[in-house]
């Protein structure tokens, strides 16, 4: 499957700082989603932004979507040690495919 | 716990053996997905069921892989004649039938190691 690109691949910041992750995808989308994965565990859904939305907030999360550039960003404000995890963007490709396509992920480390 | 449940959590097998994994989705979800994830990569879609019908299969799903969802509830993923390249985390997810293409709820995964 064609995975998108996420950058950076890894990000290390101090607790309290903001973390920004970017995602690029290759196809038309219905919506774009962000998931978190703690080490060696399943994925947890964080937020979904529809293709007709440009920005969405949920708690300390802010997601933007630019369909003209086929890109999205996830901002985590006031980071905490518990935010240490891998973050993946994901989308349903066009053409009726019903499985999510995931980016390669950003590994975020929050230094206490 | 009403989340997605996967068993076993870990499986070590010798090359050439068959293995079977089980997934119990959230009870009211009629969509069930299998994904495979290798180290440092995002999950890759394998196959998808709506109720008991297998509606889509990725080209990643070789003929050694078979998945079933006999009564539209739990699902099994079997790998025959395992190879070292099959070592990965196998993730199951479920979602409601409506609205379509919404968030997926993932299990904790089964980590397969082929030695």
Contact A99 B89 (CB under 8 A): no
Whole-number pLDDT of residue B1: 54
Residue in A30, A33, A41 closest to B108 by CB: A41
Please tell me if residue B99 touches chain A, with a CB cutoff of 8 Å.
Answer: no
What are the angstrom distances between the C-alpha of B100 and each of A30, B40, B69, B97, B104?
A: 10, 29, 20, 6, 10
pLDDT digits (tens, 9 = 90+) for B6-40: 999 999 999 999 999 999 999 989 999 999 999 98
Cis peptide before A102 (omega within 30 of 0): no
Q: Alpha-carbon distance B86 to B82, whole Å? A: 6
Q: In this structure, are residues A70 and A26 in contact, taking their beta carbons and an 8 Å threshold?
A: yes
Q: Alpha-carbon distance A66 to B82, whole Å? A: 42
Whole-number pLDDT of residue B2: 76
Structure tokens that stand for B74 in this block: 């739990």
Residue in B56, B100, B109 closest to A42 by CB: B109
Burial per residue of B8-32, b for 16 or more beta-carbon CB atoms within 10 angstroms, e otherwise = eeebebeeeeebebebbbbeebbbb
Whole-number pLDDT of residue A97: 57
Q: Alpha-carbon distance A13 to B3, whole Å? A: 32
For residue B89, the cross-strand partners are B37, B111
Closest listed residue to residue A71, CA positions, set A11, A22, A106: A22
Cα B58 to its chain centre, rounded Å, is: 12
Contact B89 A97 (CB under 8 A): no
Residues of B in contact with A46 (CB under 8 A): none
Contact A42 B91 (CB under 8 A): yes
Contact B44 A102 (CB under 8 A): yes
Contact A104 B4 (CB under 8 A): no
* Residue whose token pair is 């004649």: B81
DSSP string, A16-59: TS-EEEEEE--S--SEEEEEEE-TTS-EEEEEEEETT-SEEEET
Structure tokens that stand for A12 in this block: 């290390």
Q: Alpha-carbon distance A17 to B68, whole Å? A: 46
In degrees, to the nearest 5, what angle opens at C-alpha A62 toward C-alphas A53 and A9?
A: 105
In degrees, to the nearest 5, what angle opens at C-alpha B65 toward C-alphas B51 and B96?
A: 25
Residues of B in contact with A56 (CB under 8 A): none
pLDDT (tens, 9 = 90+) of chain A, 112 residues, equals 456 788 899 999 999 999 999 999 988 888 999 999 998 788 999 999 999 999 999 999 999 999 999 999 999 999 999 999 999 999 987 555 578 999 999 999 999 8
Rounded to 5 degrees, what are φ and ψ at A82?
A: -70, -10
Closest listed residue to residue A29, CA positions, set A75, A76, A86, A68: A68
């Amino acid at each position: 499957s064609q995975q998108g690109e996420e950058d950076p691949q890894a990000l290390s910041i101090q607790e309290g700082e903001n973390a920004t992750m970017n995602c690029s995808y290759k196809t038309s989308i219905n919506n774009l989603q962000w998931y978190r994965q703690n080490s060696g565990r399943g994925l947890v859904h964080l937020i979904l932004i529809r293709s007709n939305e440009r920005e969405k907030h949920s708690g300390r999360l802010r997601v933007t979507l630019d369909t003209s550039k086929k890109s999205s960003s996830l901002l985590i404000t006031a980071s905490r040690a518990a935010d240490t995890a891998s973050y993946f963007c994901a989308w349903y490709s066009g053409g009726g495919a019903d499985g999510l396509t995931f980016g390669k992920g950003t590994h975020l480390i929050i230094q206490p | 716990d009403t989340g997605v449940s996967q068993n076993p959590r870990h499986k070590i097998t010798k090359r050439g053996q068959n293995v079977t994994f089980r997934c119990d989705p959230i009870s009211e979800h009629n969509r069930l997905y299998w994904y495979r994830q290798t180290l440092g990569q995002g999950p890759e879609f394998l196959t998808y069921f709506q109720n008991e019908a297998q509606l889509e299969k990725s080209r990643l799903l070789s003929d050694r892989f078979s998945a079933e969802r006999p009564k539209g509830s739990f699902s099994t993923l079997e790998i025959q004649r395992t190879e070292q390249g099959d070592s990965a985390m196998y993730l199951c997810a479920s979602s409601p039938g409506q609205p379509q293409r919404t968030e997926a709820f993932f299990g904790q995964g089964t980590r397969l190691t082929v030695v």
